[in-house]
Chains A and B, each alone.
Chain A
């Protein structure tokens, strides 16, 4: 199947990627070709197969709720592109 430009734009929005017109066209073609390749999987009957989400059989790994030292706030904020009053600063949301 071939992805339409509209579908590419929808996926790009979900992925928070602002794409150029050229990229939309190119990625659309490349994704279509990869998805065609993935369609090979359809020749395999899997109705009775349990999906394998994870190799290890562990789930719900618990620890006791002890207070431990956490990372230093200023040190973490030092990597922020913009920070103010010990908080991350971003452009307006509303």
Chain B
């Protein structure tokens, strides 16, 4: 087995036993990247020289606590000091941040080794990574299909063994949906669990940082590092972070699992429904209590999300005006024209569409009808979840209605592509933790199971996900990229 194929915890063990050096691991990772990257196209930026240099410094230190010496990737939405951060956009094509995001900074302090920045839909707006201003990433399981999005580069890189783990962000499903499409583990923790400082903002009341990994233990290990309060993000929660690896015991006896009937309705592929039902059976065999419930306002989550998220985005993206950083149009004769031309040339279609939509929903005369209405509906959605969690520990559903679609297949009507988020969006609206783990295959493509937990109860998600993983082998399956 090659080093690049190993999980984070397997690499930790080998480093601790002095069987390998960090430099050997990083070299192995770049060997892999060089072989598969022209097929998968996960990375916008690779920093081989500095990664190797970092690895040698760590090797010289001679000790490997935590993630010391282990390679990682970051979605190109995390500001990285001295490393270009594009957010998948032409407007930030040459942006080199002068500061580091808290989440990536914590990995850096723990001596994780950054190998590169991963492709994404522009400003995290999209479900296929086709909205990247630079190029589309491919699904490692089938290069004619999308990896999902917006954190498609992160999911594809982990699935293709280009990195053992990566960070992403999730505003309406941008971690869970690509994790599902690429057959990897993806966790979006509770809103406020991880600091958003230094993460380029899309919709600030929904955005959350999370982890892509090859298995559940790795995911918990990384969450242990990035979770917790940060004085630089006043919406990060001052709630104690438990050791997420301490409950990985495979015991789900007595765990109360709900499955919402609205998440198994028409529009969800039969093969996916079947696969999730089978997983629920597995949980029952393992001693969990499984019951059907209703989340009656589910159908309203998506339309409400597509008002709230664009509204927040229209405000957040106002900062990209060609003054302080990024692209500028130099032809304009006055400042308003400079703003408008810079933004018109710097943003792609989907970003413009959402800025327009959000601006409209917030504009005088429409605020009550659209934005305020959506916030009221958001309350009803959160209440639905609260009611179920009064009696249950966990909600289980499919992550996505279909398997990964083909590149170009959904590029026409924006509403069609928004439908991919129908099962993940409600979780962001309610601010709850959600996770996707591999639970089956259809036409050779991975299927993901979504686990939804109570606020700040990521530990139960990890526990239940680990139990499923221990009793199945979906997480060990690897795509065949035709190289060895």
Contact = CB atoms under 8 A, between A and B. Distances in A.
A67 interface: no
B475 interface: no
Contact of B335 (A54, A63, A80, A91): A91
B116 interface: no
A41 B379 CA distance: 13
Interface residues of B, number: 68
A47 to B, nearest CB: 9
Contacts of A58: 234-235, 237
Contacts of B344: 17-19
A88 B328 CA distance: 13
Interface in B316-364: 318, 321-328, 330, 332-341, 343-344, 347, 352-353, 355-357, 359-360, 363
A6 interface: no
Given A49-B379, A55-B192, A91-B335, A82 B414 contact: no
B484 to A, nearest CB: 43
Interface string B112-134: 00000000000000000000000
A72 B98 contact: yes
A79 B380 contact: no
B324 A80 contact: yes
B376 interface: yes
A75 B98 contact: yes
B98 A17 contact: no
Contact of B334 (A11, A42, A91): A91
Contacts of B334: 91-93
B415 A34 contact: yes
Nearest to A62: B234
Interface string A29-69: 01101110110111010100111111110100101000000
Interface string A73-94: 0011011111000001011110
B379 A90 contact: no
A92 B307 CA distance: 35
Given A34-B306, A71-B99, A92-B334, A53 B321 contact: no
B375 interface: yes
- From DSSP, what is the main secondary structure of chain A's interface residues? loop
Contacts of B415: 33-34, 37
Given A30-B414, A40-B300, A51-B375, A88 B323 contact: yes
A18 to B, nearest CB: 4
A91 B334 CA distance: 5
Given A14-B363, A31-B356, A41 B374 contact: yes
Contacts of A34: 306, 357, 414-415
A79 to B, nearest CB: 4
A38 B439 CA distance: 33
B370 to A, nearest CB: 6
A81 B328 contact: yes
B278 interface: no
A15 B356 contact: yes
Nearest to A59: B234
B286 interface: no
Contacts of B318: 16
B303 interface: yes
A63 to B, nearest CB: 7
Interface in B177-234: 191-192, 205, 231, 234
Given A19-B344, A91-B335, A14 B325 contact: no
Interface of B: 95-99, 191-192, 205, 231, 234-235, 237, 297, 299-300, 303-304, 306-307, 314, 318, 321-328, 330, 332-341, 343-344, 347, 352-353, 355-357, 359-360, 363, 370, 372-380, 382, 413-415, 430-431, 455
Which 3 pairs across A and B sit closest by C-beta, in order of nearness?
A55-B431, A51-B375, A81-B328
Interface of A: 3, 7-8, 10-19, 23, 27, 30-31, 33-35, 37-38, 40-42, 44, 46, 49-56, 58, 61, 63, 71-72, 75-76, 78-82, 88, 90-93
Given A54-B235, A93-B334, 9 more contacts: A15-B356, A16-B339, A27-B353, A34-B415, A38-B306, A52-B378, A55-B191, A55-B205, A92-B335
20 contacts: A3-B360, A10-B363, A11-B363, A15-B355, A16-B340, A17-B340, A17-B343, A31-B360, A33-B413, A34-B414, A38-B307, A41-B377, A53-B205, A53-B375, A56-B192, A58-B234, A71-B98, A75-B98, A81-B325, A88-B323
